[in-house]
Amino acid sequence: MWLCTGGTLLSAALAMEHAVAVHLGGGFHHAFADHGEGFCLINDVAIATAMLQRDNLIDKATIIDLDVHHGNGTAAIFADDPDVYTFSMHQEHNYPGWKPTSDLDVGLEDGITDDRYHELLEQHLRTIVNEHDAQIAFYLAGADPYREDQLGGLGLTIQGLRRRDEIVYEYLRAAGIPVAVTLAGGYAVNTDDTVEIHCNTLRAARDTYLRPTAAMRRL
Ligand SMILES: [Zn+2]
């Protein structure tokens, strides 16, 4: 867990330099300041935020948590912190039972499908990037909103999740906000599906940020 948290710190630093960095782990959003729960011991994203602030690299951060489970630990840690905007879009009727208030909580009904999910996401991202002038975003790209996830109850497809990632990247890139990505949860019946969804999070980053120029395409 310490090593994995170190990866989130590294991703945060690299994101500040390169606009995007994806860590193959992290997103321990159920960890509170004083206890861990839900497979999470220490809140890596909270620590990474504190590190960037300590090093005077940022004042404000936005946390975009799209894991199927509410980001309860993150919400509690930053409840009284106006510099960190916490956004959680999750399945309402799922763990955790007690959901401390984020700056923006969007509790989704069971079984929501790609199109409606994308519509809601875009609507809220528009507001978030315009109203909170953060110098970094942390994106928790959970694979568990997948319709065949064992711990989730939403209805997204693998392609729909890839589009979700693209939407997040497109909005942040357009707003000039660097993003550090963590993978968070994923428990598909078929493990290959979870791997594919996580790999797509990287592919979407590559395709959004490293879009080949006309000159590159000629090579
Ligand atoms: Zn989860």
| 4-59 per-position pLDDT tens digit | 999 999 999 999 999 999 999 999 999 999 999 999 999 999 999 999 999 999 99
Query: How much is the pLDDT for 210?
Result: 85
Sheet holding 84-91, edge to edge: 20-22, 179-182, 136-140, 61-65, 84-91, 104-108
Burial class (CB in 10 A: 0-12, 13-18, 19+), 194: buried
pLDDT of amino acid 217: 59
If pLDDT is split at 50, 70 and 90, which confidence band does 158 have? very high
- Single out the catalytic residue among 23, 30, 90, 132: 30
Could you report the per-residue pLDDT of 50-99, keeping only the tens digit for each? Answer: 999 999 999 999 999 999 999 999 999 999 999 999 999 999 999 999 99
- Return the SS3 of 50: helix
Cβ atoms of 141 and 182 within 8 Å: the answer is yes
CATH code at 122?
3.40.800.20
Q: How many domains does the chain have?
A: 1
Examine residue 216 and state whether it is found in any structural domain, yes or no: no
The predicted pLDDT at position 218 comes to: 59
Distance from the CA of 185 to the center of ligand 1, in angstroms? 4
30 is annotated as an active-site residue: yes
Q: What whole-number percentage of the chain has pLDDT above 90?
A: 94
Q: Considering the domain boundaries, does residue 217 fall inside one?
A: no
Evaluate whether residue 173 is within a structural domain.
Answer: yes
Residue 105 lies in a domain: yes
What is the CA(178)–ligand 1 centre distance, in A?
Answer: 23
Joined together, the tokens standing for residue 209 give: 């940020």
Q: How far is the CA of 96 from the centre of ligand 1 (A)?
A: 10
Give this prediction's pTM.
0.95
For 102, residues 6+ apart whose C-beta sits below 8 A from its C-beta are 65, 70, 71, 74, 75, 86, 87, 88
Residue 76 lies in a domain: yes
Q: What is the predicted pLDDT for the residue at 131?
A: 86
* Joined tokens for residue 128: 């978030």
> What pLDDT shows up at residue 211?
73
Domain of 173, in residue numbers:
2-210
CB-CB neighbours of 80 under 10 Å: 7
Candidates 117, 58, 114; CA nearest to 83 is 58
Q: What are the residues facing 104 on neighbouring strands? A: 87
Q: Is the residue at 57 inside a domain?
A: yes
67 CA to centre of ligand 1 in angstroms: 5
Confirm whether 199 is domain-assigned.
yes
At 34, list the tokens: 């004083």
From the CA of 217, how far away is ligand 1's center (Å)?
38
The answer to whether 16 and 51 are in contact (CB under 8 A) is: no
- Answer yes or no: is 219 within a domain: no
